[in-house]
């Protein structure tokens, strides 16, 4: 973020250069930096464009490719504060006509990598629950955005 000096005692109070720097800072704070983007998504390990150590928080956008046959997908996002050397679990729940599907994927966030640690899948049907660990990952990450200079983290 660029430092802006408002000690301009002449008209105009804010120069064009200062106004442009202010706008750039606001856009960076709001939009963040895209560290990973893949329209299809991946359910494996992910390499980011730079290390998360440079960011105060990241947002991980993901979906579930478990389909009920009609192409419906479940989308979600998780925010991770101070992400370096953290673990995060991405989860979705899909309610089908007969079953409820709960899928999750645990990642370790380290430098410029999101490494899969575990997958899990649960199917609830009445009083029956079937759970598999490390079976198949239905969660797909399609975007990771980093944010710097966050005051609330």
| Cα end-to-end span (Å), the chain | 16
Q: In sequence order, what are the residues at sequence separation of 6 or more whose Cβ sits closer than 8 angstroms to the Cβ of residue 62?
A: 41, 75, 76, 77, 78, 90, 92, 139, 140, 141, 142
Instruction: Grade residue 141 by pLDDT with cuts at 50, 70 and 90.
Output: very high
Say if residue 90's pLDDT is above 80: yes
Instruction: Grade residue 107 by pLDDT with cuts at 50, 70 and 90.
Output: very high
- pLDDT, tens digit, for every residue of 12-71? 566 777 777 777 777 666 779 999 999 989 999 999 999 999 999 999 999 987 755 556
Give the start-to-end residue ranges of the domains of the chain.
1-31, 33-147
Residue 17 pLDDT: 76
Instruction: Grade residue 113 by pLDDT with cuts at 50, 70 and 90.
Output: very high
Say if residue 72's pLDDT is above 80: no
Percent of the chain residues topping a pLDDT of 90: 47
3 state DSSP class of 41: strand
Instruction: Grade residue 140 by pLDDT with cuts at 50, 70 and 90.
Output: very high
């Amino acid at each position: 973020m660029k430092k802006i000096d408002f000690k301009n005692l002449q008209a105009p109070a804010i120069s064009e250069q200062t106004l442009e720097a202010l706008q750039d800072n606001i856009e960076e704070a709001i939009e963040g930096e895209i560290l990973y983007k893949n329209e299809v998504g991946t359910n494996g390990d992910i390499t980011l464009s730079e290390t998360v150590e440079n960011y105060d928080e990241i947002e991980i956008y993901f979906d579930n490719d478990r389909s009920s046959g009609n192409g419906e997908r479940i989308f979600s996002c998780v925010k991770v504060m101070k992400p370096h050397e953290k673990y995060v679990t991405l989860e979705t729940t899909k309610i089908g006509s007969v079953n409820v599907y709960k899928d999750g994927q645990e990642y370790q966030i380290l430098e410029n990598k999101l490494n899969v640690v575990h997958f899990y899948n649960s199917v609830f049907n009445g009083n029956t629950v079937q759970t598999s660990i490390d079976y198949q990952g239905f969660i797909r990450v399609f975007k990771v955005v980093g944010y710097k200079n966050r005051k609330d983290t």
